[in-house]
Chains A and B, each alone.
Chain A
Amino acid sequence: MRPRNKLLSLLLALVLPLGLWAQVKQGERPVTVRINNIKIRDLLSIIVDQTQLNPLYNSDQLDDQERVSVNFENEPLDNVLAFLLRKKGLTWKYHDDTYIVKFKKPGDPDPGRLPDAKPTIVTVLVTDEDDHPIPDAFIIAKPSGKTGQTDNNGIARLQVERNAELMVSSVGYATMPVMVNDNTVLKIKLKASMSNLDEVMVIAYGTSSRRNLTGAVSRITAADIAQQLVSNPLLAMQGRVPGLYINQLSGLPGGAINVELRGKNSIAAGNNPLYIVDGIPFPATALTLNNALPASAAISPLMGSNPLNMLNAANIESIEVLKDADATSIYGSRGANGVVLITTKKGQPGKMRVDADVYSGIGKTGHQLQFLNSAQYLEMRKEALQNDKIDPQNTDQDLAWGSSRYTNWEKVMLGGTAGITDAQVAVQGGVNSFLYRVAGGYRKETTVYPGNFNFNKASLQTNLVFTPNNRTEATLKIGYSNDRTYLPSIDLAAYTRTPPNAPESYSNGNLNWDGGSYDNPMSALLRPYKAYTEYLTMNLVLKYRIWKELQFETSMGFNNIFVDEKQPTPFHSLNPAAGYNTAEGGYTIFGNNRFRNWIIEPRFRYGHTFGKVKMTTLLGFTLQEDIRDQKGFFATKFPGGAAEQLENILAASNITGLGYDYYRYRYNALFLRANWNYRGKYILHITGRQDASSRFAPELPFAVFFSTGAAWIFSEESWMKPALPFLSFGKLRASYGTSGNDQIKDYAYIATRSPSNMYDGQWGQMPVKLTNNQYKWEKSQKFETALELGFLQDKLLFRAAYYRNRSTGQLVNEPLPLTTGASSVLNNFPATVQNTGWEFELNSNIIRKEKTSWNTFFNVSIPRNKLVSFPGIKNTSYNNTLSEGEPLDIIKGYQYWRIDPVSGVYTFTGTGNDDRTAIKRTSPLLYGGWQNNLELNNWRLDLLFQFVSQQRYNYLLTGQAPGMPFMNQPVDVMNRWRIHGDQAAFQQFTQGSGEAYKSFLLVQQSNKSITDASFIRLKSVNLSYKLPKKWIEKARLQSARFFIQGQNLFTITGYKGRDPEVAADHDVYPPLSVYTAGLHITL
């Protein structure tokens, strides 16, 4: 428009005859001039040309040598003169073709309007450094306080004064001030924030930045995950997130993982955080038949595989961990244990780009245990018989084997080399209105077991973002993954205790049972566990901007997970001496497990600026349904026991139900959030949620949860800067609020009957439980306060947080006298569990130059867990495991005293069998990590150390008593008591009878069975080399990077077992040390 106007006025000036021109009122004659630094005299002469009006003034009124900058476009002359003269106290009067300048007297009118006070429409285009538009960038004009927000094309239009200053900010970028300076179009490039203070943080139903957060949120990014050689994304968070303690329960691929966010809040209900993947809640508990089976009949060695293993870690953009009430209260009765938000990658605008990543390598057990050799083993066994004054029986076959053979079973069972291969490819790109990313992945892991056991995962995921206009946006995600697990049905680590002098495993190609005398460890290789998992997820997010400040959005999605399990046991894998009926022909356990859920969350988002306060509000609604359906069958009597037919359920002539679990869970809620930000200095955040869940009786009132958080960014205070010049950022925040826990069994409030006993050809139905429809969610009250400081332009960031969470109304089985018909009823019990703790973080970009950088991140958490009160605990079965004033994770045991030098057995202080006064805490006392990223030219090195201070089971006391038949022992046991007066670490050997055996059973339940299992571990190392540009260009690549990676390379620990992380009371497959090499290329 502007050039045309200019042309028009020029035409007018040239073409119009003077007479016509004279018809335009003098003061309204247009002036168009845009020039910097012009003398007033010259400017006035230009005005004469354009208006045909001459000025009359004298030099004491106006210094015409003064220079000014002007920008007028068809501006009426009055306004031009007002701009030039008013501030000098002058006014003017027209007289024919002249205007006379004079001093203004009181009462004189003020003709004209100052042109720069007239608002103008400014179009602002905000992009990043690569010219990609930034939507939702926030613009505030000073001094008027007008605000605006960019649309999906990065464009915002604002009516501002011409001399206004715009502050342009967007999460993840450094805030940039820009002078309007009469420009009507401003192109603004935001620089990515140097510190992580302004990086985007995904929070509940939205995003924020570290700078503006009022709650406790931690995040790890795709870059962090890429450094880890893990299949389960949860494991990538080990050592990186303060307040989040994660340990593997088994090192097997897909094995169970223990996750505790700021400690255990619940005595008996679940302690899992709420997982949300791209807006859809994800199951936290394993979908395996292990749930429905007793521990002794476990179908797999994974101990409850972790469902998040189904996700492809390579597709994850970020994982945010929400910890305090401010961050989690909006999740209502599901948020008490914290929330883990997982966001997957979306397409980046630009030309099509292909990223391919492949790595491959090997894994070994880090620390192999040393067991007794054949001679030592026989010495132990004979001594044990002697001590117990028992002659060898004909069942003591291991003595008859002699010492001629020696097998290192540790090496046979866990000494193999695991293979690991991971390949990922992603295609992405798009124009502004359409972004796409399609990614496929494949991963295969084998084990250190003998035999060809393995785990495979293949996945495909598509993310599409469609922006048809600047009001509407649609995001669609479709993900599919497929896992195949092929493992032995029990953890072969247990077989490392096979006697070292055991006979040949095979004779003539068949398993050698040595007349049935022992359980041939190789037979376990024939009893596999096979699982097939499919996971389909779809998610659609629609956003529509109703008007500038009000947006409607809705997300809807579903997960569909299917796990098919089989555990075939062929007849020839069973010890013939066990009396197994060969006609039964082996048996198979079948498990069919299905989980599906859907969620719809419509919501309104409203943002407005009132003066200096920017307010954003969110009002939303949730509808959710989960269905879990798990069935197990035990099939036997297969014809002839043919191993090939064991997986055909029709081939079995006897099939019995082995477990059934079904529930339907429904949940809905109304939630509200409001956030006020006053000049980026004072931030107040309020959330509330009212929800209802099918786990509680419908007669109960709604659950209402709320939180409030406030932050004071004191470094923004003008008095602060001179006072503490070294401080570039300072924030003090605090939050308080409530959230709930509803992780209990479904339908528990409904009186039901279930088949209990067959009677006279029909199932009898007995009442399952007493009914109580009054119990409610457990309630957590969470308080947190934190100090966040930035130094040296935020190159160094420090955070310290203190929290105190108290969970009351514990959902436990309240003990009842049996006259009620049952021993307990589910009820809110007035027991209180408290978690307090300190969390410290230090994040520093010490060196950040173009080709050299060093970034280091250190975090440490000191959690404290306490059962504050549990009235009447003495009358409950919890008295065996819990104690008031102590953490929930304790072992109550006998107080170990010493090995009696005379009798040579463990002795204990105190008397009686119930004297369990020794308390040992098994939850971590302190944990954290230290991460370093170094870059030098094309080289990059990433290192992560993890450290944990904890007490766990003492490996040397977890097996059976040293001296028991068919049970090898660590070499340490040779330091045992033998004769009167011996000072030894172990009591006398026993083969399973007498005082020594009894005292061994007691020592396993004593404080001596718990030992220090602290460790410092080099969790991951990643060294990569980026190929130089000229090579890349020759190869027509965008970039290429070679890397070598290592996982769990070394561990410093005083713990005697295989690995302190999996220090359980039995032998467990440890996490492996993994070494890989790989390549990343971008086309």
Chain B
Amino acid sequence: MKRTKAILLHLCIFLTFSCRKFVTVSLPGTEVSETEIYSNDIAARSAILGIYGEMIGENGFASGNTRSASLLCALSADELDTRSAITAIREFRDNSLDPANSAIKDALWGEPYKCIYAANAFLIGIQKSDKVSPDVKKQLSGEALFARAFCYFYLVNLFGDVPYTTGIDYKQNRDLHRNHHSFVYDRIASDLRDARDNLSADYINNEPSNDNRVRPNKWAAIALLARVSLYMGKWADAEILSNSVIANTDQYSLESSLDEVFLIRSREAIWQLKPNTAGINTWEGKNLILTAGPSAGESNSCLLTADLINAFEQGDLRRRSWVDSVIGPDSTVYHYAHKYKIKNGDSPSEYSMVLRLAEQYLIRAEARARLGDTAGANEDLNKVRSRAGLPAINAPTTDALLAAILKERRMELFTEWGHRWLDLKRCGKAGAVLQPFKNTTRWQDTDTLYPIPRSELLLNQQLAQNPGY
């Protein structure tokens, strides 16, 4: 009996251990685990490409599609009007956002955090890997840092103080509180400096024969850092940084023809996102180009405001080259942005422009103006103006200069990346410009910040709503 007991006991112990091993299944060849993705250079690269793919994908906040920052911020500002019947879109135009707005929740808030999660996961995962070659590791880490900084830049600008995390544990990330915007800016700047140190100066292409600029390089990090410095009021930094990009004439120069700025091989491009949806070139082209009157749906529902059209100076080539119009069935003329010329088509000739040299000139101009270098500022401003076929100006005072730069930014960067909305906000001019323009009593100064999505407040007690919502 004793022996039987001993045998049974041993059997149980043996089975218990064999159990564990047996049910520990390896992943099938159809899935790759978070650790395996860092087992070689190509797989690790796919983790970074996924982030860009997400940004430019149909629902991406950076896509140029109907729920991207480019479109929604242009609606909040004075660039676009909409005929859409969809509340989630109209609320941006009316500056009367409901915290339950689905575009806020999914596109502007959810998507950046999704990309941040992917970047954080990459940065944590790649550190543990010794199988990715050092050069690739360095480059990809730089790209992840860049992507994270880019996402936080839009979050902090659209929402103000936002939760900042570099971790991936949901148990911590579900209870984050809002960090002060200056803290977030510091983190962005620090990430960008690290990215600058990691990224190569040349553009990396999957196929070296492709001379694409669809993955950020060192200069993309510097260019974004220049913008961040400007937003932070670090004028000297902004000037030095933008200066170094402008000085790199081997890689960058303003395209002399306005029709070539947004093309694949634009020499003005510092970073472009490569569209990945079959049948279209860019989302901007698909949505903004009108072939009839604006629709009441979501796509093709936006048109340029008369205010913007009227703001073009006489002879501005951008008015001719970047704006077009269509006559709707109601015989009304509708103007639309025509920076991207192709609406549909299988073989892409345009990529979605994120960072370009003209903005660097305008950054340097503004920094120089703030630093008192009026001559230098005017020079930069006129560089952009002359390309648009406009005569040089010579703004005598800093204030006049800043006003001219703000105006020039509007004319140069309209419907790109919400520049106008962010400019009005950071210059404190949002209320002054938008209240009369929107001709509504609804405008409140608190509208400069979008609301934190309602569902986030319900699920995370640490979060507080922005004022006014």
Contact = CB atoms under 8 A, between A and B. Distances in A.
Contacts of B47: 753, 764-765
B294 interface: no
Most A C-beta atoms less than 10 A away, residue of B34, B37, B49: B49
B174 interface: yes
Interface stretch (A159-167, A391-399, A813-821, A972-980): A813-821
A747 interface: yes
A528 B51 CA distance: 41
Please classify how large the interface on chain A is, using the bins under 10, 10 to 19, 20 to 34, 35 or more.
Answer: 35 or more
A759 B456 contact: no
A668 B16 CA distance: 10
Contact of B15 (A670, A694, A761, A821): A670
Contacts of A663: 28
Nearest to A606: B4
Interface in A650-702: 660, 662-670, 690-694, 698, 702
B281 to A, nearest CB: 15
Contact of B25 (A619, A664, A763): A664
B96 interface: no
Contacts of A767: 34, 117-118, 121
A692 B56 contact: no
A757 B19 CA distance: 38
Contacts of A772: 170
B49 A666 contact: no
A764 B53 CA distance: 6
Interface string A256-300: 000000000000000000000000000000000000000000000
A819 B110 CA distance: 7
A816 B32 CA distance: 24
Given A666-B22, A821-B116, A759 B173 contact: no
Contact of B212 (A619, A760, A821, A874): A760
Contacts of B27: 747, 750, 752
A551 B276 CA distance: 65
Given A698-B20, A765-B47, A757 B37 contact: no
B455 A819 contact: no
A621 interface: yes
A763 B50 CA distance: 7
B215 interface: yes
A819 B165 contact: yes
A823 interface: yes
A46 interface: no
B190 interface: no
A825 interface: yes
Contact of B459 (A669, A817, A821): A817
Interface string A959-991: 000000000000000000000000000000000
A762 B206 contact: yes
Contact of A875 (B165, B170, B210, B459): B459
B105 A818 contact: yes
Given A668-B22, A761-B207, A819 B173 contact: yes
Contacts of B170: 770, 772, 816, 820-822, 825
A751 interface: yes
Contacts of B35: 751
Most B C-beta atoms less than 10 A away, residue of A623, A669, A698, A766: A766
B216 interface: no
A691 B22 CA distance: 11
Most B C-beta atoms less than 10 A away, residue of A756, A816, A817, A818: A817
B25 A759 contact: no
B8 interface: yes
Contact of B23 (A693, A758, A759): A693
Contacts of A750: 27, 31, 33-34
B244 to A, nearest CB: 26
Interface string A618-637: 01010100000000000000
Contacts of A407: none
Given A670-B19, A818-B456, A747 B31 contact: yes
A65 interface: no
Contacts of B19: 668-670, 691-692, 702
A754 interface: yes
B30 interface: yes
A771 interface: yes
A546 B192 CA distance: 75
Interface string A804-828: 0000000000011111111101000
A667 B105 contact: no
Main secondary structure of the interface of B (DSSP, over half): helix
Interface string B3-27: 0000010001001101110111101
Contact of A764 (B33, B52, B455, B460): B52
A23 B42 CA distance: 106
Most B C-beta atoms less than 10 A away, residue of A619, A751, A756, A765: A765
A818 B16 contact: no
A767 B57 CA distance: 15
A694 to B, nearest CB: 4
Given A759-B49, A764-B54, A818 B276 contact: no
A819 B118 contact: no
Contacts of A760: 49, 52, 205-206, 210, 212, 214-215, 274
A670 B53 contact: no
B176 interface: yes
A685 B23 CA distance: 29
A756 B51 CA distance: 9
Interface string A1042-1075: 0000000000000000000000000000000000
Contacts of B165: 819
Given A666-B22, A698-B23, A823-B110, A754 B173 contact: no
B15 A621 contact: yes
A726 to B, nearest CB: 48
Contacts of A702: 16, 19
B113 A821 contact: yes
A667 B206 CA distance: 43
A872 to B, nearest CB: 9
A265 to B, nearest CB: 23
Given A759-B50, A760-B49, A766-B54, A667 B114 contact: no
Contacts of A746: 25
Contacts of A768: 31
A1074 to B, nearest CB: 43
Contacts of A821: 113-114, 116-118, 120, 168, 170, 173
Contacts of A825: 170
Contact of B113 (A694, A818, A875): A818
A668 B12 CA distance: 13
Interface in A423-442: none
B185 interface: no
B111 to A, nearest CB: 9
Interface string B33-77: 111010000110111111111101100000000000000000000
Contacts of B160: none
B245 to A, nearest CB: 23
Contacts of A756: 50, 53-54, 57
A136 B253 CA distance: 94
Contacts of B463: 817
Contact of A818 (B18, B34, B56, B110): B110
B37 A753 contact: yes
Nearest to B25: A694
B49 A764 contact: yes
A1043 B114 CA distance: 67
Nearest to A696: B23
Contacts of A747: 25, 27, 31
9 contacts: A668-B22, A694-B24, A698-B24, A757-B57, A759-B52, A764-B54, A818-B456, A819-B165, A820-B113
The 8 lowest CB-CB distance pairs between A and B, nearest first, are A757-B53, A821-B117, A764-B50, A751-B34, A764-B53, A764-B49, A766-B50, A759-B49
Given A753-B32, A763-B49, 7 more contacts: A619-B8, A746-B25, A760-B52, A764-B51, A765-B47, A771-B34, A819-B113
